[in-house]
Structure 1
Amino acid sequence: MPTVHALHTAKGSRLPMRAQERIEVETGRGIVDDRYHGARHRQVTVQSHESLLEASLAFGAPVPPELTRRNITISDGVVPAAPGSRLRIGGVLLEVVRVAAPCKLLDDTIGDGAQAALRRRGGSVCRVLAGGSIALGDPVDLDPDD
């Protein structure tokens, strides 16, 4: 079963991501103290460490989780991408809104070609259906409706 590999938040849109051991997630609002807290749809972003390893191979250098600007990195598996899909991380229930498409800024922060390497590996943007705490090592259920 996948687990929470890394947690990152940023207070503002251009501020660096900070590693966290635990985050608090509010229903319908997102991660407390994150730049998207209170956003209507873009409340939490989730990516897979396994996908980052694939992107690193395509890019030719490591792709650090914090530089992708995603909040939650799971250890392995494929993060659901279809809108309406659900995933449970710890006690938090998320619903996928859309794919988290990598932006051109990644070429500036990670290196030329990072955006292309992360295409189809960038994770998903989610809204929070049921809040709670998420900590490093928490279990991840990629198909909680089963």
Structure 2
Amino acid sequence: MKVLSVHASRDRGFPRLRVEAVKLVPGYGIAGDRKAGKREQRAVLLLGQATYEHLESLGFDLPYGALGENMVLDLDPHLLRPGTKLRVGEALLEVSLYCTPCKTLKERYGSNFPQKLGRRRGMLARVLEGGTVQAGDAVQIL
């Protein structure tokens, strides 16, 4: 399993910009990302490639980052329970909770977008051990 893309943005809204790499900081999140340092259990948003495939099947042609995620993985994070630990690149993450669709998605993609997205918005995680993560890095479920 691996990381397909990484995203961060200092600015509010979507999409989050694709970046070469991100630096994760324990108890803080992604250095330079607008959400960093706000709520530890919501530090990193993980999304599976399957979410984009689902949306494409419904006629949405969205680039990675369009849903505000920090990482797109080639595994479905919705299959992971809160408390599951993941080694992602150099960092250690702990899945904390399900991410519900926000009003920005509704405003950007239409009032029925949250229903079409369903429970595929991603999983939020906290950073237990810091390090750099980039596309192509391995993902291990511990």
Q: TM-score range with shorter-chain normalisation? A: 0.7 to 0.9
* Aligned Cα root-mean-square deviation (Å): 1.8
TM-score normalised by the chain length of structure 2: 0.87
How many residues end up aligned between the 2 structures? 140
Q: Which residue of 2 aligns with 1:12?
A: 11
Q: Which runs of 5+ in 1 are unaligned?
A: none
- Kindly indicate whether the alpha-carbon contact (under 8 Å) linking 1:22 and 1:133 is maintained by their aligned counterparts in 2: yes
The answer to whether the Cα contact below 8 Å between 1:44 and 1:71 also exists between their aligned partners in 2 is yes
Contact (CA 8 Å) 1:53, 1:62: kept in 2 or not? Answer: no
Superposition deviation, residue 22 in structure 1 = 0.6
User: Among the aligned pairs, what percent are the same residue?
Assistant: 30
| Residue 36 of structure 2 corresponds to residue 34 of structure 1 | no
Partner of 2:22: 23
1:65 aligns with 2:64: yes
Distance 2:108 2:66 in 1: 7
AA aligned opposite 1:28: G
Residue number in structure 2 paired with 1:52? 52
Q: Give 1:1-146 correspondences, 5 Å limit.
A: 2-14=1-13, 16-39=15-38, 40-57=40-57, 59-74=58-73, 76-79=74-77, 80-141=79-140, 143-144=141-142
Contact 1:48 1:123 in 2 (8 A): yes
Shift of 1:112: 4.5
> How many angstroms does 1:16 deviate by?
4.7
1:81-135 C-alpha deviation (Å, 9 max, x unpaired)? 4221121211211111110111232132234532222221111011001110001
Q: Is the 8 A contact 2:5 2:72 kept in 1?
A: yes
Runs of 4+ in 1 over 2 A off after TM superposition: 12-16, 110-114
* Higher alpha-carbon deviation: 21-30 or 37-46: 37-46
SS at match of 2:119: coil
Q: Measure, in 2, the Cα distance between the counterparts of 1:53 and 1:16.
A: 17
- For the Cα contact (< 8 Å) 2:15–2:67, is it kept in 1? no
Cα separation, 1, equivalents of 2:125 and 2:32:
17
Unpaired runs of at least 5, structure 2: none
Structure 1 residues 67 and 16: alpha-carbon distance in aligned structure 2, compared to 1, 3 A threshold:
closer
**One-letter code aligned to 1:114:** F
